[in-house]
Amino acid sequence: MDGRDPVTLRLTHVSAALGGHQILHDVTLEIVPGELVALVGPNGAGKTTLLSVMAGDIEPTDGEAVLDGTRLRGWKVAALARERAVLPQEQRLAFGFRVVDVVRMGRAPWARLPEEDLDDVVVADSMERTDVLTLAERSFPTLSGGEKARTSFSRVLAQQTPLVLLDEPTAALDIRHQEQVLAQARRLAADGHAVVAVLHDLTVAAAHADRICVLANGRLHADGAPRDVITPEILAEVYGHPVDVIDHASRLVVLPHLITHTEESSCAPVLS
């Protein structure tokens, strides 16, 4: 794993609030090296908030989040940046940095350390793994949503941290690049990194994750291997909508039941 020691992240009875509103309730889980863990659940379930707690960006109101034996709030900023990398849901970089410069930002935590000597090699490798080498001289704001997402993921790879946190890494990607990014996430896990990804596509989560954590109403509703968690009963209860789960070529495919015109009309508001 790039010569780094693996780390374990433990959340114990974690609750968290945003703007005075309680989002997470009593979440306990462990993220270990060598696993790709998918966080799934309906809108508002608390997935991004949970990822932010894991990153140390949000401090729990109750419970504790511990990385490598130390509470996250006890880590210094620079040291934490060498332990965990975060891909946010939105790419907010507005300045006209070139793509190669954005990727190189991932090397900032290693400035003035021996690892700095590897910057050029690591940046080039990260860009190749995310298919953005041809975009190297492009200005970041001129990129498409998918190109920005791949560039930001390249930055995360360049950071070379034991813990990698990805918030909807495939949201803006076409099929080929979606599979490419998830293949790289799996490669990270296989190399001994601990990887957590928020995913909305349940079929994709089932295909790529070693473990799936299902959130509902800010609570951990289920946690286990895809075949134990991606079931019609659990998904219908959590999402409030019936689904079929089909085993196709040794992969689970989740198919939501179609809403008929009659059902849709019955839910429509009456206009006056």
Q: What amino acid is encoded at 192 in this protein?
A: G
Of the candidates 182, 243, 228, the residue with the CA atom closest to the CA atom of residue 207: 182
Q: What amino acid is encoded at 133 in this protein?
A: L
Per domain, the residue ranges of the chain are 1-83+161-228, 92-158
Give the three-class secondary structure for 210: coil
Report the run of H or E that residue 235 belongs to, with start and end: helix 232-239
Instruction: Assess contact for 23 and 9: CB atoms under 8 A.
Output: no
Give residue for tokens 């009456």.
270
Of the candidates 183, 180, 230, 231, the residue with the CA atom closest to the CA atom of residue 208: 183
Q: Which CATH class is domain 1-83+161-228?
A: alpha beta
pLDDT digits (tens, 9 = 90+) for 126-139: 999 999 999 999 99
As given in the structure block, the two tokens for residue 129 are 């793994």
Instruction: Assess contact for 98 and 142: CB atoms under 8 A.
Output: no
DSSP secondary structure letters along 41-69: -STTSSHHHHHHHHHTSS--SEEEEEETT
| pLDDT digits (tens), the chain, 272 positions | 665 667 899 999 999 999 999 999 999 999 999 999 999 999 999 999 999 999 999 999 999 999 999 999 999 999 999 999 999 987 776 678 999 999 999 999 999 999 999 999 999 999 999 999 999 999 999 999 999 999 999 999 999 999 999 999 999 899 999 999 999 999 999 999 999 999 999 999 999 999 999 999 999 999 999 999 999 999 999 999 999 999 999 999 999 999 876 555 555 444 43
Give residue for tokens 């990385």.
67
Considering the entire predicted model, what is its pTM? 0.92
d(CA 207, CA 250): 9
